[in-house]
A and B are shown apart, each in its own frame.
Chain A
């Protein structure tokens, strides 16, 4: 039996799988079919994240899995590591596996994976097939503007078409 603590402005669809000790911050959106399973330890999700459909966030460790603020986790991604920082993008079917963590401003590209246990430093981009990585040279300044527009749109449209937890 776990506790689910949703902040007042969090938007979580009803058709999601939420198990265990989960805390979701303000402004975060959890789309349909996402699963957030705090199996062995709690999951703490920050503010203004966009968690897309079919995402699997599983905490197999006893330590908390912490997701920071302003992250975008795209469709079918998997987060099993120890946590991620702020302003990251985990693209479609990207994976944070094992005990890895992501820093800030990182991008895990489409179908790319972190190593099983590494702390990916800030500003790292994982991309390509075969996978390679590089460090971004801009300061990710343009990210927030677009991210906030995305958030605003979703907050407006999602409740019109999906049942939301906590809606009366």
Chain B
């Protein structure tokens, strides 16, 4: 959260995303492409089915987010929350060895790292390959084992010793290859492949030619009169694990029931290390227009983003300042704001700071929603946030409205705008007068904020490039003010 918030207090600002169907604001540009229009119409129909008020209120808590969690689609000019974005994988990597796994290998390696990354069966820490003296054979030979640095577990405890220190996974596969489980699986596969072949052969026989292979089959089997193999005539599968088709398991399979392979089964000495699961990097798209909002670099070690469309880069950030920087006229810090506790009946000033992230001016209007618990007066309902600029050309520090003395260096704006406490660069601090009417644990004021700015990017689609379009964003912000006594 913003560093200006005191963690002990309960002040906070949450933004509301009304995305049960992604309702659109007015003035959002109409998409030129037909496909996007169709998507938009579908979404409009979705949100036309109204929810009743009480359900909406209960659901509202799911739809409020701090601004850090919100995205912004600049194609639709809309806010997008984590519920109204489509996530898709943008790369897979092992969290331990940070090896980027190509997408094709992910499936074949069952979403785990194919190299030497394993979890300790005792403490789930990551295992390290260590070269030690072998306990098998005549001793004195070195071999590699997996060992845990935290609990000192060793793969020698389950009898795993490897010849080389790389490709441990492959060596484990080889070790398991002769085991009864793998043999059983292979014979099962063979059996069902035979069944499948027979089934498709008989099916083809009734439906005619489907492929050259089955044509050949028909030709060869045509010579065998009456030898129509059907699925029913195949012998049933005989599992190698049962003794003479009885219900008793053979010795091999009784040993398997010790469940060396199944994790979390009692005695840790028989547990096997599990492979480390791969992590995904996700990219996010707008649900309406499928425009990419977040696209990370697919390399694991690189934590940057190729595309990063965040709400904080398009919408004003609303925060509670703990102190405001010194104004030139007064030469001191305005401190101790937002610290006085709220009491029923008494009017308290609450200072909110709006920060403009854009390179253009933004007109902001603040309206208060209906609230029984408190009466709020916004002293400055409409103001203009100056753009973000590297060089601070702004030295109009306006003082607290009670002093009402414009600074000498103000550029032509003679009067102090009522309600604006402080103005510096691209930030404006405004004052709200809050009069609580009832005691609550957590007083939350809904504010409806409308921001308008001119789009300074050249519009590619339209022929008329001289008039930049106006973009209006309206959203609700819920301002939490803490306890009312």
The chain B residue with its CB closest to the CB of A107 is: B152
The chain A residue with its CB closest to the CB of B135 is: A138
Q: Bound state CA distance, A142 and B147, in angstroms? A: 13
User: Is B324 in the interface zone, CB < 8 Å from A?
Assistant: no
Q: Bound state CA distance, A127 and B122, in angstroms? A: 11
Whether the Cβ atoms of B133 and A134 lie closer than 8 Å is: no
Whether the Cβ atoms of B157 and A137 lie closer than 8 Å is: yes
**Least distance between B454 CB and chain A CB atoms (Å):** 55
Whether the Cβ atoms of A134 and B151 lie closer than 8 Å is: yes
**Least distance between A92 CB and chain B CB atoms (Å):** 13
Whether the Cβ atoms of A125 and B132 lie closer than 8 Å is: no
Interface centre among B132, B152, B268 (most CB of A within 10 A): B152
The chain A residue with its CB closest to the CB of B148 is: A127
| Chain A residues whose C-beta falls within 8 Å of the C-beta of B152 in the assembled complex | 107, 125, 127, 134, 136, 138
The chain B residue with its CB closest to the CB of A105 is: B152
Whether the Cβ atoms of B154 and A137 lie closer than 8 Å is: yes
**Least distance between A26 CB and chain B CB atoms (Å):** 28
Whether the Cβ atoms of A138 and B154 lie closer than 8 Å is: yes
| Chain B residues whose C-beta falls within 8 Å of the C-beta of A127 in the assembled complex | 123, 150-152
Q: Contact size class for B?
A: 10 to 19
User: Is B156 in the interface zone, CB < 8 Å from A?
Assistant: yes
Whether the Cβ atoms of A128 and B151 lie closer than 8 Å is: yes
The chain A residue with its CB closest to the CB of B269 is: A137
Q: Bound state CA distance, A109 and B150, in angstroms? A: 7
The chain B residue with its CB closest to the CB of A109 is: B150
**Least distance between A155 CB and chain B CB atoms (Å):** 26
**Least distance between B120 CB and chain A CB atoms (Å):** 10
| Chain A residues whose C-beta falls within 8 Å of the C-beta of B150 in the assembled complex | 109, 127-128
Query: What does the 1/0 interface line of B126-158 toward A look like (CB < 8 Å)?
Result: 000000110000000000000000111110110
| Chain A residues whose C-beta falls within 8 Å of the C-beta of B133 in the assembled complex | 141-142
**Least distance between A148 CB and chain B CB atoms (Å):** 17
- Known A134-B122, A142-B132; judge A125-B151 contact (CB<8 A): yes
Q: Bound state CA distance, A56 and B119, in angstroms? A: 34
**Least distance between B411 CB and chain A CB atoms (Å):** 59
Whether the Cβ atoms of A138 and B156 lie closer than 8 Å is: yes
| Chain B residues whose C-beta falls within 8 Å of the C-beta of A138 in the assembled complex | 152, 154, 156
| Chain A residues whose C-beta falls within 8 Å of the C-beta of B157 in the assembled complex | 137
**Least distance between B300 CB and chain A CB atoms (Å):** 27
The chain A residue with its CB closest to the CB of B122 is: A134
| Chain B residues whose C-beta falls within 8 Å of the C-beta of A137 in the assembled complex | 154, 156-157
**Least distance between A79 CB and chain B CB atoms (Å):** 20
Interfacial residues of chain B within 101-132, with CB under 8 A of chain A in the complex: 122-123, 132
**Least distance between B207 CB and chain A CB atoms (Å):** 63
Query: What does the 1/0 interface line of A137-154 toward B look like (CB < 8 Å)?
Result: 110011000000000000
- Known A107-B152, A137-B154; judge A128-B123 contact (CB<8 A): yes
Interfacial residues of chain A within 110-166, with CB under 8 A of chain B in the complex: 125, 127-128, 134, 136-138, 141-142
Query: What does the 1/0 interface line of B460-471 toward A look like (CB < 8 Å)?
Result: 000000000000
Interface centre among A136, A137, A138, A141 (most CB of B within 10 A): A138
**Least distance between A141 CB and chain B CB atoms (Å):** 7
The chain B residue with its CB closest to the CB of A141 is: B133
| Chain B residues whose C-beta falls within 8 Å of the C-beta of A134 in the assembled complex | 122, 151-153, 268
Could you jot down 11 A-B contacts, CB within 8 Å? A109-B150, A125-B152, A127-B123, A127-B151, A127-B152, A128-B123, A136-B152, A137-B156, A137-B157, A138-B152, A141-B133
- Chain A interface (Cβ within 8 Å of chain B)? 107, 109, 125, 127-128, 134, 136-138, 141-142
- Chain B interface (Cβ within 8 Å of chain A)? 122-123, 132-133, 150-154, 156-157, 268
> Which 8 residue pairs of A and B lie closest in terms of their CB atoms, listed nearest first?
A127-B151, A136-B152, A125-B152, A137-B157, A127-B150, A138-B154, A128-B123, A125-B151
